[in-house]
Amino acid sequence: MRPARVSAIDARLAHPGLMLLAGMGTSVLAFLLGPVELTIEALL
């Protein structure tokens, strides 16, 4: 049996769309959390 890590890498290479979705999700999270952090800093 192959290590799980190799399987995960294979899955990512086989599905670049998933990596794109993950990247977009991270960007959206950062976009949403940025103003929240600024608001918290302004309130402190």
Q: Would you kindly state where each structural domain of the chain is located, as residue ranges?
A: 4-43
> In 8-23, which positions are buried (b, 16+ CB within 10 angstroms) versus exposed (e)?
eeeeeeeeeeeeeeee
Provide the pLDDT for residue 40: 86
- Are 19 and 12 contacting, i.e. CB atoms less than 8 angstroms apart? yes
Provide the pLDDT for residue 19: 78
H helical segments located in the chain? 4-14, 16-43
- Record the pTM: 0.44
pLDDT tens digit string along 22-43? Answer: 888 888 988 888 888 889 889 8
pLDDT surpassing 70 at residue 9: no
Between 7 and 4, whose confidence is greater? 7
- Are 34 and 28 contacting, i.e. CB atoms less than 8 angstroms apart? no
Between 16 and 22, whose confidence is greater? 22
